[in-house]
């Protein structure tokens, strides 16, 4: 917590917070510091735009992403702004629809593993003892796995659907957040206000979820933000290898697969440049948001 | 009796084995009374209070004895019932007001949480009651403070909030663990006065833990002096200050400055430190630091015996003054 900016008049040894009447809450303080970070604001705007594109894809898209036209591998033109691919589908439409995949995989994966990892980390640290020991050994095991390989195996066994992809990515991401949360809860549970809460007769779940969790939220939020970018990267990689989202569903990763031949690389840049740029911009934007959040939430700032 | 401790023995499991932190403490506290527990750091006074609240953590446990509170034995009460008593019938104020409030919630938020938990009040009624409590503990503009976060309050204000929180559910017993130690001297007096006023108003009994004899003189009716996990002297506050019998109590008295004492006078101190729990000396636990220790103190541990009505002491010298004199003469 930083000090209050407003001057504090002292009356009879009793400090009274000056105007504004309501002292600045943690959230507003954070927002103020986040806005100072210019790249983070740009990143936030770009990320928001991407989410909007994903939601309104059917209205924004000039064509259906699956409609095959007679023009194969056509260069950008007035009717197809980014040209068509090798089977004659509109690249722009596919690019727009692929945003949905990225958003679903990015945020879906993070939502699942952050929730699970946070609960596991919280309980592990608060309960301690053998629970803690077992949980930590399990996370050690997960972190020691060559996970890309395991993901490839799991996806090929379960079938490469969007759901499997999200679940598998989440399965290998929760241990890091569990450890992060455990670390901060171990510190937080020694705090006087936690002891005061116990002395007030609050139940264990209430103390853990209402008093400890909000104080551990800052590193979780930052980690989750970077997690979104990492999940989108992982999905692109898997789709590129053919183990992720399967055609005809469009994903930036599987759109890049077309660029595997040298002739496409040199002669048809509209096939691989747009998805490549989208991945780059998305991951950069989200990482900037993460940077900004980290600075804004850092109590040392 | 509202609260009665009978031979309470609290132990902690450590790497070096079991250590006894509180060893056979007995005390009685009537309705509306205030009892002060005095002693150096590490003498077991805080553990005594935590034993009453059963907040000993994973490694601590009450091994022997009874803690009678309103016809219940708190030492054996199931945890679920104990939770109802904590914050309800027994409330606690801590030493560190600066860190005892959760930084991410407003004062109002934290205050009403306790009220909603232990009373039937909900929503607006709880809010109004919280404002009333803040007024009671002398906080100006309570409505605005309700919406403030802890970091915008001073230490004295926060301790007032803690007191409001502790008293909001009308506890029968208030445990105050060094309530003024972390505060400025001027604020200390304000907080003590506030506690006295509220005691009159609510009729709550107070168990006051402190190392400050000034606070004891100000607040307490009865005093228990603890040393190395044991009660070494127990009496009412007037007798204690007029005629302390245990050499340890006498030492504590001599270590505080008095008005009228010589400015150049060096204050007396008790040599040495409290012995570690793992390595208690044989015989009287205080003999290593006692100026009057004799042969008997080295070999036999004295019991806590009544030497006068309402005055108990754990010291051979006070219990057997006749024998003592002859021994001293022989030694000379």
- For B279-289, what is each residue's pLDDT tens digit? 888 888 888 88
In A19-72, which ranges are continuous DSSP H helix?
26-35, 38-55, 57-60
Positive/negative CA dihedral, A204, A208, A212, A214: negative
Q: What is the ipTM of this complex?
A: 0.80
Q: Which residues of B touch A193 (CB under 8 A)?
A: 99-103
Q: Give the model's pLDDT for residue A301.
A: 46
Asked whether residue A4 carries a pLDDT value surpassing 60, the answer given is no
Structural domains of chain A sorted by starting position, each given as residue range(s) with its CATH number in brackets: 52-63+78-297 (1.10.3720.10)
pLDDT digits (tens, 9 = 90+) for A94-116: 899 999 999 999 999 999 999 99
| Mean pLDDT value across residues A163-178 | 90
Asked whether residue A178 carries a pLDDT value surpassing 90, the answer given is yes
| Mean pLDDT value across residues B12-29 | 88
Interface of B with A in 226-265 (CB under 8 A): none
* Nearest beta carbon to residue A26 from set B100, B104, B147: B104
Distance from CA of A297 to the nearest CA of B (A): 13
Residue A146: other Cβ atoms inside 10 A: 8
Q: Give the model's pLDDT for residue B323.
A: 67
Angle at A152 between CA A148 and CA A251, to 5 degrees: 95
- Spatial distance between the Cα atoms of A300 and B5, rounded to a whole number of angstroms: 47
Determine, for residues B187 and A13 on separate chains, whether the beta-carbon distance falls below 8 Å: yes
Among chain B residues, CA nearest to A202: B83
pLDDT digits (tens, 9 = 90+) for B238-248: 988 888 888 88
* Nearest beta carbon to residue A23 from set B117, B152, B154: B152
Going by C-alpha positions, the residue among B158, B160, B108 that lies closest to residue B136 is B160
Please indicate whether residue A142 or residue A83 has the higher confidence score (pLDDT): A142
Determine, for residues A22 and B144 on separate chains, whether the beta-carbon distance falls below 8 Å: yes
Tell me the CA distances in angstroms from B167 to A244, A272, B95, B140, B219, one per residue in order: 60, 69, 16, 18, 17
Picking from A21, A193, A208, A221 by the largest number of B CB atoms within 10 A of its own CB, the best residue to mutate is: A193
Determine, for residues A13 and B101 on separate chains, whether the beta-carbon distance falls below 8 Å: no
| Mean pLDDT value across residues A250-271 | 83
Tell me the CA distances in angstroms from A145 to A171, B138, B141, B297, one per residue in order: 12, 60, 59, 65
Q: Give the model's pLDDT for residue A78.
A: 75
Going by C-alpha positions, the residue among B235, B240, B245, B206 that lies closest to residue B324 is B245
pLDDT digits (tens, 9 = 90+) for B215-225: 888 889 999 99
Asked whether residue A280 carries a pLDDT value surpassing 90, the answer given is yes
Rounded mean pLDDT of chain B? Answer: 86
With a pLDDT cut of 70, the percent of chain B lying above it is 96
**Terminal alpha carbon distance of chain B:** 48
Q: Which residue has the tokens 């659907």?
A: A161
With a pLDDT cut of 90, the percent of chain B lying above it is 13
Q: Which residues of A touch B142 (CB under 8 A)?
A: none
Determine, for residues B147 and A202 on separate chains, whether the beta-carbon distance falls below 8 Å: no
Of the listed ranges A148-162, A232-246, B264-278, the least confidently predicted one is B264-278
In chain B, which ranges are continuous DSSP H helix?
45-53, 79-85, 107-118, 123-136, 142-146, 155-167, 185-202, 213-219, 237-242, 247-254, 295-299, 316-319, 321-331
Q: Is B148 on the interface with A (CB under 8 A)?
A: yes
Q: Give the model's pLDDT for residue A190.
A: 85
Q: Give the model's pLDDT for residue A133.
A: 93
Strand B222-227 relative to strand B230-236: parallel, antiparallel, unpaired?
Answer: antiparallel
SS3 category, B85: helix
Q: Is B119 on the interface with A (CB under 8 A)?
A: no
Asked whether residue A254 carries a pLDDT value surpassing 80, the answer given is yes
pTM: 0.76
* CATH no., domain B3-89+171-259+267-331: 3.40.50.300
């Amino acid at each position: 917590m930083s000090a209050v900016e407003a001057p504090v008049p002292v009356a009879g040894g009793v400090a009274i917070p000056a105007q504004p009447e309501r002292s600045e809450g943690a959230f507003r303080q954070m927002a103020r510091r986040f806005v100072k970070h210019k790249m983070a604001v740009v990143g936030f705007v770009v990320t928001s735009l991407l989410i909007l594109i994903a939601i309104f894809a059917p209205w924004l898209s000039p064509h259906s992403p699956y409609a095959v036209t007679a023009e194969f591998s056509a260069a950008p033109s007035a009717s197809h702004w980014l040209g068509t691919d090798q089977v004659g589908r509109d690249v722009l439409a596919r690019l727009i629809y692929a945003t949905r995949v990225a958003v679903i995989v990015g945020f879906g994966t993070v939502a699942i593993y952050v929730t699970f990892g946070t609960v596991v980390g919280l309980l592990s640290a608060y309960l301690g003892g053998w629970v803690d020991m077992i949980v930590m050994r399990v996370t050690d095991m997960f972190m020691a796995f060559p996970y890309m390989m395991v993901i490839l195996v799991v996806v090929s066994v379960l079938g490469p659907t969007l759901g499997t992809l999200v679940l598998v990515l989440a399965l290998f991401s929760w241990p890091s957040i569990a450890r992060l949360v455990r670390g901060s809860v171990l510190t937080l549970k020694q705090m006087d206000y936690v002891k005061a809460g116990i002395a007030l007769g609050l139940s264990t779940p209430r103390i853990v979820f209402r008093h400890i969790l909000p104080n551990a939220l800052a590193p979780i939020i930052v980690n989750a933000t970077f997690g979104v970018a990492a999940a989108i990267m992982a999905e692109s990689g898997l789709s590129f290898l053919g183990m992720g989202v399967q055609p005809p569903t469009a994903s930036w990763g599987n759109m890049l697969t077309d660029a595997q031949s040298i002739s496409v690389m040199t002669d048809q840049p509209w096939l691989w440049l747009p998805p490549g740029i989208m991945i780059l911009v998305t991951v950069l934007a989200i990482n900037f948001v993460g940077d900004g959040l980290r600075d804004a939430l850092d109590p040392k700032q | 009796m509202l609260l009665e401790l009978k031979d309470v023995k609290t132990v902690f499991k450590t790497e070096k084995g079991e250590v006894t932190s509180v060893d056979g403490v007995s005390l009685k506290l009537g309705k509306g009374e205030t009892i002060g527990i005095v002693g150096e750091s590490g003498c077991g006074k805080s553990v005594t209070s935590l034993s009453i609240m059963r907040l000993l953590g994973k490694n601590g446990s009450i091994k022997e004895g009874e803690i009678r509170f309103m016809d219940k034995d708190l030492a054996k009460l199931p945890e679920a019932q104990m939770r109802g008593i904590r914050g309800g019938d027994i409330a606690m104020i801590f030493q560190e007001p600066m860190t005892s409030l959760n930084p991410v919630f407003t004062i109002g938020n934290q205050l009403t949480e306790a009220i909603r938990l232990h009373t039937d009040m909900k929503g607006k009624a709880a809010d109004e009651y919280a404002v009333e409590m803040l007024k009671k503990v002398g906080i100006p503009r309570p409505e605005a403070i309700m919406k403030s976060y802890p970091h915008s309050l001073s230490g004295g204000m926060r301790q007032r909030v803690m007191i409001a929180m502790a008293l909001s559910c009308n506890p029968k017993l208030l445990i105050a663990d060094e309530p003024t130690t972390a505060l400025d001297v001027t604020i200390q007096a304000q907080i003590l006065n506030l506690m006295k006023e509220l005691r009159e108003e609510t009729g709550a009994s107070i168990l006051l833990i402190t190392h400050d004899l000034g606070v004891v003189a100000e607040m307490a009716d009865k005093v228990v002096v603890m040393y190395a996990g044991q009660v070494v002297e127990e009496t009412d506050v007037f007798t204690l200050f007029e005629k302390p019998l245990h050499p340890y109590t006498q030492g504590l008295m001599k270590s505080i400055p008095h008005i009228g004492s010589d400015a150049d006078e060096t204050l007396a101190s008790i040599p040495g430190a409290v012995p570690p729990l793992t390595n208690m000396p044989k015989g009287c636990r205080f003999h290593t630091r006692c100026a009057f220790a004799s042969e008997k103190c080295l070999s036999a541990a004295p019991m806590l015996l009544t030497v006068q009505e309402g005055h108990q002491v754990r010291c051979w010298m006070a219990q057997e003054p006749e024998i003592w004199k002859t021994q001293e003469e022989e030694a000379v």
